Amino acid sequence: MKRVSTELTLAAAITRFLQELAEVRLASSHTVAAYRRDLARFTDHCGDVPLSEITRQQVQDWLVDSHASGLAPATLARRLSALSSFFDAAVRSGWCRANVASGIRPPKQAKRLPRTLNPEQTQALLSHSDRASELRDLALLAVMYGCGLRVSEVVGLNLHDVDMHSMELRVLGKGRKERVVPLPDGAATLLSNYLEERIPLTIEGAGSDAQAVFLNNRGGRLTPRSVQRMLKERALETGADMSVTPHRLRHSFATHLLAGGVDLRAIQELLGHASLGTTERYTHLDIAKLTEVYDETHPRAKRKS
């Protein structure tokens, strides 16, 4: 059994833990800062007492107090996770005998439905503008929405991933899993128009990103951040929903397919979801929309006064 350092206080143990996190585990500065904030709040609750005196009841009381102050279940779950990780490290280092946060369940989080754009909003994004990168932007948006791609997948496309003859794209998704997705007619036309302008850049040379489908104005591969910025600017110019994000386009693709009667398994394949459970979120979204329409239009939906 490891010898327990009974003299080590909570604050001192946290300082050592954060140092190990940064210097040994090489965690990012953002991760270390997040742990520091959450653990500092636990210290505020308990006081800087010897680590060995912290009890399971104090952890539970901290969560109850945090919940009563109005914190979201997701925030409470994150705080509990940080505390449990800290106590795991403390036990390994011999600072205390047990992880008093182990096994405590965080509050259940409400399922968040993905936000989507209606077809009119997606069409507004695809309306023509006077942007210098218009051909590229239209092709990128049409491919991202028309194929339901993640932003990392669309910027990761290379020229050899595009098969205009078969109207297909080869996509490298999460976990480096490949999938082949069909390219809709409209997206194929816009992509073809762009590639006629894009292909000469490979002859002139575009650095290490010469094979990238979507390039920036310097000939380098477009980044996810650039796509997000382009979406916001385009929404402002075309009058589309300013809250649009690449992921909302992906959610919209799935929801519009479901509303059109496409099988859930087929949508799972198109999105590259490992689990059907992930795709099933869209059935809840569709039912929520159906309920909203029912409440607004059905003569029996509203109670008679």
135 contact partners, CB below 8 Å, separation of at least 6: 190, 193, 194, 197
The residue ranges of every structural domain in the chain are 10-93, 119-296
pLDDT for 74: 82
Give pLDDT tens digits for 147-188. Answer: 888 899 999 999 999 999 999 989 888 777 888 888 889 889
pLDDT for 123: 80
The neighbour count for residue 54, using CB atoms within 10 Å, is: 21
**Mean pLDDT of the 122-146 span:** 85
Q: Which two tokens mark 24?
A: 């040994």
Q: Which residues are catalytic?
A: 150, 174, 247, 250, 273, 282
Q: CA–CA separation, 136 vs 118, rounded Å?
A: 23
pLDDT for 202: 47
Report the CATH superfamily, name and number, of domain 119-296. Intergrase catalytic core (1.10.443.10)
pLDDT for 148: 83
Q: Which two tokens mark 121?
A: 């909003």
The pLDDT of residue 238 is above 80: no
| pLDDT-above-90 percentage for the chain | 33
Task: Please tell me which of 233-242, 274-283, 292-301 the model is most confident about, judged by mean pLDDT.
Answer: 233-242
**Has domain 10-93 been given CATH number 3.20.20.70?**
no
Q: What is the biggest distance separating any 2 CA atoms in the chain, rounded to whole angstroms?
A: 74
Q: CA–CA separation, 214 vs 222, rounded Å?
A: 6
pLDDT band at 288; cut points 50, 70, 90: very low
